[in-house]
Amino acid sequence: EAEVAQSPRYKITEKSQAVAFWCDPISGHATLYWYRQILGQGPELLVQFQDESVVDDSQLPKDRFSAERLKGVDSTLKIQPAELGDSAMYLCASSLLSGTGRPPYEQYFGPGTRLTVT
Amino acid sequence: QKEVEQDPGPLSVPEGAIVSLNCTYSNSAFQYFMWYRQYSRKGPELLMYTYSSGNKEDGRFTAQVDKSSKYISLFIRDSQPSDSATYLCAMSALNSGGSNYKLTFGKGTLLTVNP
């Protein structure tokens, strides 16, 4: 069964350092999402891509976070500099397509990267 | 007030019990209602979804949506230790531009089923 791949699974970094996470969506999925899930909270969308274009990054803290999906396949989420409050699980999800033609429940989540900032 | 409210628990029940999990919401534009299960250190996986109001059953799981009360429920019958996980409700409405659905999650309820 196809799955969303993420790496690393765990990352510990010191505050003010840079950190990057990688996601490889299910093959053929045009839409890719990055979510942040703080311990004890539900996931919150950071950024959504349709192919290589950003569809929604309204909740992405752009002063320190950046995301790219250069060839419309895999994606990288970067934080620079990391702050203590960035400690969370970073989840990647993918779906065939987004928009009114596709129901929202067809998002498949990866296992996440658990980030600890010390 | 958050758009989606969910009691975080924790909830502990004996094996075989009927479990009831609930969420309330404030956004009347929500059209899709979903339940995800998340095991420790894993990503959420979709359990069930409902479009608009009504009930939906899948094996031991039943999802209910009452749009008039802005209240959704997930029932688990004959609960098993393998059901121990965090259960997240999620809801979706079209964005303001009408071009894209966006998921809004509850906080999740941590369920433990004891053998």
pLDDT given for residue A85 in this prediction:
96
Q: Compute the distance between CA of residue A87 and CA of residue A83 in angstroms, rounded to an integer.
A: 8
Single out the residue of B103, B92, B91 nearest to residue B24, CA to CA: B91
Query: CA distances (Å), B78 to each of A22, B20, B23, B61, B112, in order?
Result: 39, 12, 21, 9, 13
A92, pLDDT greater than 90: yes
Per-residue pLDDT at B20:
97
Higher-confidence residue: A31 or A104?
Answer: A31
pLDDT of residue A108: 92
pLDDT in tens, B47-63: 999 988 889 999 999 99
- Residues B45 and A48: their CA atoms lie apart, in Å, by 19
Q: What is the pLDDT of residue A106?
A: 81
Q: How confident is the model at residue B8 (pLDDT cuts 50, 70, 90)?
A: confident
Q: Is the pLDDT of residue B39 over 90?
A: yes
Q: Which residue has the higher pLDDT, A99 or A68?
A: A68
**Cross-chain Cβ contact B34/A102 below 8 Å:** no
Give the model's pLDDT for residue B66: 94
Beta-carbon separation of A42 and B102 below 8 A: no
Contact A6, A98 (CB under 8 A): no
Choose the closest CB to B88 out of A42, A56, A100. A42
What is the average per-residue pLDDT within B19-35? 94
**How near does any CA of chain A get to the CA of B63, in Å?**
14
Model pLDDT, residue B96: 72
Q: What is the pLDDT of residues B63-107, one digit of tens each?
A: 999 999 999 999 999 999 999 999 999 999 887 776 778 899 999
Contacts of A63 (CB under 8 A, 6+ apart): none
The DSSP secondary-structure symbol of B81 reads G
Residues of B in contact with A105 (CB under 8 A): 32, 34, 46, 49, 92
Residue B82's pLDDT is 96
At residue B83, the 3 state secondary structure works out as helix
Q: Is the CB of A46 inside 8 Å of chain B's CB atoms?
A: no
Phi, psi of A40 (to 5 degrees): 85, 5
Note the pLDDT of residue A105: 77
**Percent of chain A topping pLDDT 70:** 96
